Amino acid sequence: MTSAAGGYGKDDAEAATRLIGYAFRPRLLPHRDAEYAALVRRFDEEPAFEDLVRQSATGLGLQVLGVTMRAGSVIVPVPGSVFETRLEGYARQVRQSHHREAERVLHGIAHLAIAALCFPRPQDLVDDSYVGAVTAAVVDKHVRHMCRELAKRSAEAHENSDTPVEAPELERAWRAYARRSEAGETTSGQVAPTTTEAIVGKALRYLVDKGLLSESENLELASKVYRTTGRYQLQVRELAAVEAYRELLLLGIVPPADSAGSLRVISDDGTLH
Amino acid sequence: MNFEHATPAGSAGADEGLLQDEGLIRRAKALACTAPLHDLDANKGMLEWADVKVYQMAEIALHTIDQVAIAMDFDTGASRGHVLGRVKRFVARQAPERSDEEHARVAGWVLDSLINVGDVERAFRRSYGTVDADGVYRVRWFPFKLLVERRDSAGVLYLHASHEALNVLVGALDTDVESAQEATEVKLANLIRRGRLTDAKQVAEQARIRSIQYGELIHAQLEATRRNILSVDWMEEFPALLGEALEHVQGRVRAERAIATNMAKARDEAVNPVRKRHAAELVDIVEDCIRRHIRLQQRLLEARGVFRAEQDRQQFSLKPQRATFDLFGQLLRPSLELAVTDAVRAVDCFFSRSTGSSAQDLPFLATLVPALLRPAPEPSRFAGQVEEPEVELLEEATRFTAEQWEMAERLLHLPGEVRALSSLLEEAAGLDADLPALVALLGVHSFSPDAGAAQRRGEGHVRLAMRADATLDSAGFAGDDLWLTTARLQAPSDSSDRAGRSQDEGAGH
């Protein structure tokens, strides 16, 4: 690995960046590619090589979440990196300017709900061998159910959840979701893109494209079933959930820490508490 | 355990003087729910494809909602085609002289208007004012839906009536389901005693819609149990509710059974045909109610089994070894509770972290500029040279042409005369080189004609062949010569035997 002078060998930089490159081909897995598998093994066995990969990634605006045989090379962008996709770019086709924010929230809620249903209990998220499965209909039903519960609670608390006419952005997210049609077709028989069915479907297909879910046809359910991959579990558990949780804390929301799931906050330097 | 979330209570706050507002808000919202129906009649003049002033759109809309509500069940509702088919008949009654196509179009227009397909959210919006906690009058939006489209487990779209629609339809905007049902039952029994069957039918229909509403709510609770056992209070609230609901269903089934029996008697005894029909309809409706209640009861009985199974699955498995997140309770639920502006930050963060990195396509200037500057290819007027297709001739599938068949049939049509095969062959050879072969085959075939089959087919004639004591040697055929004739078929018994039983071999090949 290291030359006599203490530096890196001449091929090491290439190997390290190649491993980073594999992170951008998420549908390729180490056990299907001998070279990939060799690099993963090397990352595991040679601390110096691991350092090199981590440093190279940092320079590119990336963060190494994990490199395992099951998940492959999971290297994700840090906030503000050029490799980052935000909801703004993802839900770009939305034209109505006054609905833009609500539209983005709906897409984000769909992603959050998919993750929540893939890993319904905290122990599922922790269990590395756990494979969650969802269908589009289940995700939509689940969120709607949650919206109904929140509506009920709001009614019990005698809150007026109707939005002021002059400030539509103050509407609660659950109301925006509940009001959106769940299914519908355009005159040409296509699924109407504004329905929640279409929004959830888009999110699932996007995750499949990213190699985070795998899809299969279930004849019994007559619909597509989406299964989680190790990469998705890792990204949700190690990063997305933590960051979103911190974002909620910043907003002054303290999510409940009930007996079923406990919380974990990660500080900026990456150490766990 | 009521439908309050359909018409949420106003924010009267603690100020007692503002409590009156709640009733006002409720009524304002109830009024808003009827607005789409008024709009239908107000806007019908704007339709360009037909003069639709003769149609009472609000009535058609009410009928449409009725049809959807009646077909609604635990899992499914009515398909669009089913509802339209029924509404079309109703529309046709209003203007029988108009075309069928127009009726269908009016029904479709009303249905689409009730779904509000033109709106992005497919919802209606009405504003109303409230005095908030600070004493300031504020105008707020009240969004609502009447009919919604949903997809069932087989992926087929079906229609579903919203709570607002059901409430508008039933006309009980601000009542407790439980007591309204009781009142309905009392009213129904009363009407039956007095023999007011038309009213009784209406009341029974209302009772059915109440049952549907009630069933929906219980279904939602059971679904919640199946999903997340912690979301339902299984210690006190839900068992009490289940017991209550079960008792309620049992009471309803008993009451409706009694009504059905009484009505069946009324139906059988009634002399007036109109009254008889009303009674029969009422029996149908009440029996439908009973069926619905029995299904509801089954679900209620299963509920505790669901709880035990879910408890085994969700609670008695191993606790997590490491601390981690409850995505559902700690992220999704709080995010849904936030206002849209705040929620967008949290969900955006989750989205970009969970989906990972993406490689964007970056244009390379040196190739992009020439690509952009390249003149668009002019579409040529002609599509290029047409290639000469290589045609392979197909082998003729049939041995003889239609003309040959016709000629042979004409030659062999010999009513009242007898000719030798040899002379026929010679004549055929004169007409067409290939014809003798066909004539010979037909001649041999008629040596043993199936007269019975010909008679069954209804043919009047059958061709007969008999051996002639001569040798045949003409047009390339040799063997025993045949006498040929055409015999008329009369009765089932005669004519066929003579030739049909012949054991002689035919000639000519």
- Least Cα separation, residue A3 to chain B (angstroms): 33
Query: Is residue A170 domain-shared with residue A221, that is, in the same domain?
Result: yes
Q: Pull the structure tokens for residue B482.
A: 């045949």
Q: What is the pLDDT of residues B155-204, one digit of tens each?
A: 778 888 887 887 765 554 334 444 556 556 655 555 555 555 556 666 66
Region of B15 (left: φ > 0; alpha: ψ -120 to 50; beta: rest) is beta
| The last residue of a domain, from among A45, A77, A109 | A77
| A264 assigned to some structural domain | no
* Residue numbers of A between 184 and 213 with CB closer than 8 Å to B: 184-185, 194, 197, 206-207, 210, 212
| A39 assigned to some structural domain | yes
Which pLDDT belongs to residue A84? 84
Contact by Cβ (8 Å): B123, B144? yes
Question: Which of B331, B341, B362 is most worth mutating to test chain A (most A CB atoms within 10 A of its CB)?
Answer: B331
- In 3D space, the residue among A122, A23, A5 whose CA is nearest the CA of residue A68 turns out to be A23
Distance CA B182, CA B248 (A): 10
DSSP secondary-structure letter at B360?
P
Q: What are phi and psi of B109, to 5 degrees?
A: -65, -45
Q: Do B149 and A253 touch (CB under 8 A)?
A: no
Distance CA B418, CA B432 (A): 22
| The last residue of a domain, from among A77, A112, A131 | A77
Q: How many domains does chain A have?
A: 2
- Least Cα separation, residue A211 to chain B (angstroms): 9
Tens of pLDDT along chain A (273 residues) come to 444 445 677 788 888 989 998 888 888 888 888 899 999 999 989 888 999 999 999 998 898 988 988 888 888 888 888 888 888 878 765 555 556 778 888 899 999 999 988 887 777 788 888 888 888 888 888 888 888 888 888 888 777 777 777 777 788 888 888 888 888 777 777 777 788 888 899 999 999 988 889 988 876 666 788 999 888 988 888 888 888 888 888 888 776 665 343 333 333 333 332
Shortest CA distance from B315: residue in chain A = A260
Q: Which residues in chain B have Cβ-Cβ distances shorter than 8 Å to A197?
A: 151
| A265 assigned to some structural domain | no
CA B104 distance to own-chain centroid = 16
Which pLDDT belongs to residue A110? 92
Q: Rank B8-12, B189-193, B299-303 by mean pLDDT and report only the highest.
A: B299-303
| A121 assigned to some structural domain | yes
Query: Is residue A70 domain-shared with residue A95, that is, in the same domain?
Result: no
Which pLDDT belongs to residue B321? 56
Query: Is residue A128 domain-shared with residue A149, that is, in the same domain?
Result: yes
What is the CB neighbour count within 10 angstroms for residue A258? Answer: 12
Q: Pull the structure tokens for residue A71.
A: 């998940």
Lookup result for tokens 């998705």: A232
CA gyration radius for chain B? Answer: 41
Query: Is residue A117 domain-shared with residue A233, that is, in the same domain?
Result: yes
Query: Is residue A154 domain-shared with residue A236, that is, in the same domain?
Result: yes
| A272 assigned to some structural domain | no
* Residue numbers of A between 89 and 128 with CB closer than 8 Å to B: 90, 96, 99, 101-102, 104-105, 107-109, 111-113, 115-117, 119-123, 125-126
| A139 assigned to some structural domain | yes
Give residues with Cβ within 8 angstroms of B455, minimum separation 6.
Answer: B489, B492
Query: Is residue A46 domain-shared with residue A122, that is, in the same domain?
Result: no
Q: Do B141 and A197 touch (CB under 8 A)?
A: no
Query: Is residue A114 domain-shared with residue A242, that is, in the same domain?
Result: yes
Shortest CA distance from B338: residue in chain A = A172
Q: Which residues in chain A have Cβ-Cβ distances shorter than 8 Å to B346?
A: 108, 244, 247-248, 251
Which pLDDT belongs to residue A119? 85
Query: Is residue A27 domain-shared with residue A47, that is, in the same domain?
Result: yes
Q: Which residues in chain A have Cβ-Cβ distances shorter than 8 Å to B9?
A: 155, 158, 160
Query: Is residue A172 domain-shared with residue A193, that is, in the same domain?
Result: yes
Query: Is residue A109 domain-shared with residue A169, that is, in the same domain?
Result: yes
Interface pTM, i.e. ipTM: 0.82
Q: Which domain does A17 fall in, by range?
A: 12-77
Answer yes or no: is pLDDT of B75 > 60: no
DSSP state letters, B191-248: HHHHT-HHHHHHHHHHHHHHHHHHHHHHHHHHHHHHH-GGGS-TTTHHHHHHHHHHHH
| A262 assigned to some structural domain | no
* Residue numbers of A between 54 and 73 with CB closer than 8 Å to B: 62
Distance CA A265, CA A242 (A): 7
Query: Is residue A198 domain-shared with residue A136, that is, in the same domain?
Result: yes
Specify which residues B142 forms β-bridges with: B126
Q: What is the pLDDT of residues B233-245, one digit of tens each?
A: 777 777 777 777 7
Query: Is residue A54 domain-shared with residue A92, that is, in the same domain?
Result: no
Q: Pull the structure tokens for residue B105.
A: 């179009």
Residue among B150, B227, B345 minimizing CB distance to A183 = B150
CA gyration radius for chain A? Answer: 21
Which pLDDT belongs to residue A114? 92
Q: A176 and chain B: CB distance < 8 Å anywhere? A: yes
Q: Which residues in chain B have Cβ-Cβ distances shorter than 8 Å to A172?
A: 336-340
